[in-house]
Amino acid sequence: MSRVFVTHQLPGERLPLLAQQCDLSIWEQPGLLSAQGLRAGLAGCQGLVCLLTDRIDAQLLNAMPQLEFVSSMSVGVDHIDVEALTRRGIPLGHTPGVLVDTTADTAFALMLAAARRVAEADRYVRAGNWRLDNAWAPDFFVGKDVSGATLGIIGLGAIGQAIARRAAGFNMRIIAWNRSPMQVPGVEMVALEELLQSSDFVSVNVALTPTTRGLLDAQRISMLKPGVVLVNTARGGIVDEAALAQALDTGQVYAAGVDVFAQEPVAMDNPLLAHPRVVLAPHIGSATELTRARMANIAVDNALAALSGEPMPFCANPQVYR
């Protein structure tokens, strides 16, 4: 019987099915599994079901000659050396689709919260600063209008398109840049430079790959329209955090909503944490009960397919089947 290691207890109802098909072991402890824990748990296993917090690099893979499949409960696969897997003909499962609307909702929540200073206002009230001598005035907690503004979407995949649908309801002008040209009703495709220069709001929605790492570097951030609100629900590593913090300090960037960081959990000395106009979230783009259960179910279904010698329903490196 194949041995499969699961790096976290999963929601959804399908894990017991996997237990019937293989010799399953699950890391049950709270918190993140360490690299050593992953290595020890995976030793001798043919299958791995992992999270985006598990680093599956070439060194780990080299130590696992028996490995036959990997299934990640995530749409992004930047935590995995996909090329190394593909070279060995190992299929990699992921969970696209089911998290699209949930993640688009998160992007919109951060955009509205950053533009209208919701987190800052919440802290203000809780701190007892809302007093008769310090209260409603014409300029009290004024922010930026989302309605009617121009939204620039960097990466018009499924999540970018779902954000565009929401933006249409806010009567926004929607422009987008995508690596490969696309046609989406209501969205005007533009060059990246034009998007940076003319958007009042920018939403980052590309996957993290060697090409998109550092896409919004200091130079591109300096091209942003003064007063812009930037939202990143894609991956840290795409936006230069130090350059963004500096642009917030100078006021070029008015506010930001940041759900993803180059290092997660984020370090307490990350400059973005010090800025009052940054709305922070701990990588919760897809975090609803229903969506996480659906993601887990797909991750299990990908593993079940691999165990029965079938192609995974959602494979990130389908070339292994050719």
Catalytic residues: 235, 264, 283
CB of 76 to ligand GLV, least distance (A): 3
Q: Contact, 258 vs 109, CB < 8 A?
A: no
Nearest approach, Cβ of 317 to ligand GLV (angstroms)? 16
Distance (Å, whole) CA 172 – CA 136 = 28
Cα separation, 177 vs 168, in Å, equals 17
For ligand GLV (CB under 6 A), the number of binding residues is 7
* Residue 52 binds to ligand GLV (criterion: CB under 6 A): yes
User: Considering the rule CB under 6 A, would residue 285 count as an interface residue with ligand GLV?
Assistant: yes
Q: How far is Cα 12 from Cα 24, in angstroms, rounded to an integer?
A: 16
Residue nearest to ligand GLV (CB): 76
286 belongs to the binding site for ligand GLV (CB under 6 A): yes
Nearer to ligand GLV, 155 or 285 (CB): 285
Those residues with Cβ within 8 angstroms of residue 95's Cβ, 6 or more apart along the chain or in another chain: 72, 73, 74, 75, 294, 295, 298, 299, 302, 314
φ, ψ of residue 226 to 5 degrees: the values are -55, 135
Q: Which of residues 86-145 bind ligand GLV (CB under 6 A)?
A: 99
Would you count residue 297 as binding ligand GLV (CB under 6 A)?
A: no
Helix, strand, coil share (%) of the chain residues, nearest 5:
35, 15, 50
Give me the least distance between CB of 296 and ligand GLV, in Å please.
Answer: 11
The angle formed by the CA atoms of residues 25, 29 and 35, to the nearest 5 degrees, is 75
Q: Minimal distance in Å, beta carbon 44 to ligand GLV? A: 28
Q: Which stretch binds ligand GLV (CB under 6 A): 69-77, 85-93, 224-232, 239-247?
A: 69-77
Residue (199 or 205) nearer to ligand GLV, CB: 205
Of 49, 50, 61, 75, the residue at the interface with ligand GLV (CB under 6 A) is: 75
- Burial class of residue 132 in the structure, from the number of CB atoms within 10 Å of its CB (0-12 exposed, 13-18 middle, 19+ buried): exposed
204 vs 228 by CB, closer to ligand GLV: 204
162 binds ligand GLV (CB under 6 A): no
* HSE-CB of 153 using CA atoms within 13 angstroms: 31
The only residue of 7, 46, 71, 74 in contact with ligand GLV, by rule CB under 6 A: 74
C-alpha dihedral (118, 120, 125, 126), degrees to nearest 10: 110
What is the closest distance, in whole angstroms, from the C-beta atom of residue 52 to ligand GLV in the complex?
Answer: 5
Nearer to ligand GLV, 79 or 220 (CB): 79
Binding site for ligand GLV (CB under 6 A): 52, 74-76, 99, 285-286
